[in-house]
Structure 1
Amino acid sequence: MRVVSISVNGLAQAIDRGFFDWLADQDADVVCVQDHRMRVYEFDDPRYVPEGYEAYFIDGEETEHGGVGIYTRHFPKAIIYGFANEMADREGRFIQADFDKVSVACVLAPCALGREDEVTGENDLTVLDHKDAFMEAFGQHMQKTLRKRRQFIFCANLQTAHHVTDTSPRYHKLDVSGFLPHERAWLDRLFDEMGCVDAFREVNKEGDQFTWWPEWAEGWRKHAGWRTDYQLATPGIRKAIEDAWIDDETRFSDHAPIIIDYDIEIGF
């Protein structure tokens, strides 16, 4: 099973830049798309669905919240929209497809980079408060999920890098969201205490493995990047992870796709 995850900063724009042409060469079983910025009804138009795939998407009340979706070549047993968190579900931040032997979810965390202290208008919460609230809720969901016997893969743009090796050195001393101590500590708990698996790092130990280059960073696909996009796996999948790489030659958005092969039969 090959799983692709990519944050597109607007799906229509990514398609215009060749996303579907690129996807036709990937032989992916499941494609998780974050930040599509579309309305669900628009996916009735075949131009937004690549040939050979079924499309399942959720949007937010406001399109700028992003929305997430899943393209799959295999009919799922069930689709779950949201994870029973009112804020996240209103913003279209989670969708899950259940297959016979594994579930694959697509997740988009709020971005607070450069807007940390901006007030959202909701109970005087800042944008960083909003992100932290989502991460707390999603962490609780992950804690419950990791106790289940079923196996899961979460394709997630968490808007946060974990270790110093996951960001360019130019960001290490910046006091900005995405690499703050409490955000990195959240990932410590996810991996070290809850036992979640960073599927990419399980098999790929190379340096300069970045998935996101902020728009204000100088250069394109240089070294000034972050690895904020993950495929999070339950422990039972650890030994099934075969290969993982980032295609940083793409030009669909300021994020690069992360592709991982698993020794899992997804079909029935």
Structure 2
Amino acid sequence: MRVVSISVNGLARAVENGFFDWLAEQDADVVCVQDHRMRAYEIEDKNLIPEGYEAYFIDGELDEHGGVGIYTRHFPKAIMYGFANAQADREGRFIQADFDKVSVASVLAPCALGREEELTGEDDLTVLDHKDEFMEAFGLHMQKTLRKRRQFILGANLQTAHHVTDASPLYHRMEYSGFLPHERAWLDRLFDEMGCIDAFREINKQSNQFTWWPEQIEGARKSAGIRVDYQLLTPGIRKTIQDGWIDPSAKFSDHAAVVMDYDIEIGF
């Protein structure tokens, strides 16, 4: 079973820039898409579904919220839109497809990089406060998920890197959201206390394995990279990981795709 996770920074533009051409070469079973920036109904209306796939998408009240989706070659048993958190669900930040032996979700955290102190207009909350609230709510959801007998793969843009090896030195010196101490501590709890698995890091411990080169920092594809895109696993499928890599060669987004292979039969 091959799972791709990719934050596209606008699906329509990504397709124009070769996303589907790239995807046709991947032979992926499931593709977790984040930050599509459009209405869910437009995905079909504008023919933004790659050949051979079914599409399930959720949008936010505003296109800027991003929205997430799943392309799959296999019909799911069920689709879950949201994770029962009112704010996150209004913003279209979670969708889950249940298959026979595993569930796969696509997740998008709010981005506060470069806008940390900007006010949201809601109860004097800053953009960083808004992100922190989402992470707290998603952490509670992950606690419940990790206690279930069912196994899960979550393709997630968490807008946060974990260790110093996951971020360029610029982030070590500056107070940018995405590498703040309390954000990294949240990931400590997720991985070290809750037992969630960072699939890519199970097989690749090298430094400079980045998935995002924010234009706000130093220009896309330059040295200021950071690894904010993950495939999160429940511990029961840790040993099914066969291979995985980050593909920075595709130019349809300023994020690189995370591609992982698992020894899991997805079909019925």
The interval holding the TM-score normalised by the smaller chain is over 0.9
Match of 1:130 in 2: 130
Structure-2 residue corresponding to 1:69 = 69
Q: Quote how far apart the aligned CAs of 1:223 are.
A: 3.3
Amino acid at match of 2:257: P
Output the CA distance in 1 between the equivalents of 2:262 and 2:47. 29
Looking at structure 2, the residues matched to 74 and 80 of structure 1 have their Cα atoms a distance apart, in angstroms, of 16
Q: Quick check: 1:233 aligned with 2:233?
A: yes
Please tell me the root mean square deviation across aligned C-alpha atoms, in Å. Answer: 0.9
Equivalent pair of 1:160/1:179 in contact (CA under 8 Å)? yes
> Aligned partners of 1:44, 1:112: CA distance in 2, in Å?
30
Q: 1:118 to 1:216 in 2, by over 3 A?
A: closer
Segment drifting more, 71-80 vs 173-182: 173-182
2:46 and 2:74 mapped to 1: Cα distance?
18
- Paired position in structure 2 for 1:249: 249
The alpha-carbon deviation at position 173 of structure 1 amounts to: 1.4
| CA–CA separation in structure 2 for the residues paired with 1:240 and 1:45 | 37
Runs of 5+ unmatched residues, structure 2: none
Partner SS state of residue 137, structure 1? helix
Shift of 1:46: 6.0
Q: Deviations over 1:165-185 (max 9, x none)?
A: 000112101111100000000
CA shift at 1:224, angstroms?
Answer: 1.9
2: CA distance between counterparts of 1:177 and 1:219?
17
Identify the residue that residue 196 of structure 1 maps to in structure 2: 196
Corresponding position of 2:54: 54
Q: Is the 1:204–1:243 contact (alpha carbons within 8 Å) kept by the matching residues of 2?
A: no
Q: What amino acid is aligned across from residue 194 of structure 1 in structure 2?
A: M
Structure 2 SS opposite 1:96: strand
> Deviation digits for residues 20-74 of structure 1, max 9, x if unmatched?
0000000000001000001011122362000000000000000100000000000
- Residue pair 2:108, 2:158 contacting (<8 A) in 1 also: yes
Distance 2:220 2:108 in 1: 23
Paired amino acid for 2:29 = D
Q: CA deviation at 1:205?
A: 1.6
Tell whether the 8 Å contact from 2:165 to 2:206 is kept in structure 1 after alignment.
no
Specify the SS of the correspondent of 1:172.
helix
| Structure 2 letter corresponding to 1:172 | H
Which is further off, 133-142 or 200-209?
200-209
Q: Which amino acid aligns with 1:144?
A: K
Q: Quote the offset at 1:222 in angstroms.
A: 3.8
Shift of 1:260: 0.3
- Please tell me whether the aligned partners of residues 161 and 226 of structure 2 are also in contact (alpha carbons under 8 angstroms): yes
The structure-2 alpha-carbon separation of the partners of 1:128 and 1:218, relative to structure 1 and needing over 3 Å to count, comes to closer
**1:90-169 to 2 correspondences below 5 Å:** 90-169=90-169
AA of the residue aligned to 1:113: L
User: Where does the alignment leave 5 or more consecutive residues of structure 1 unmatched?
Assistant: none
2:76 and 2:99 in contact (8 A); partners too = yes
Partner Cα separation in structure 1 for residue 61 and residue 170 of structure 2:
36
C-alpha displacement of 1:219: 5.2
Structure 1 residue 15 corresponds to structure 2 residue 15: yes
SS of residue matched to 2:31: strand
Aligned pairs, how many? 268
Check if 1:31 corresponds to 2:31.
Answer: yes
| Counterpart residue identity of residue 254, structure 2 | D
Q: What is the aligned partner in structure 2 of residue 208 from structure 1?
A: 208
Contact 2:114 2:216 in 1 (8 A): no
Contact 1:241 1:261 in 2 (8 A): yes
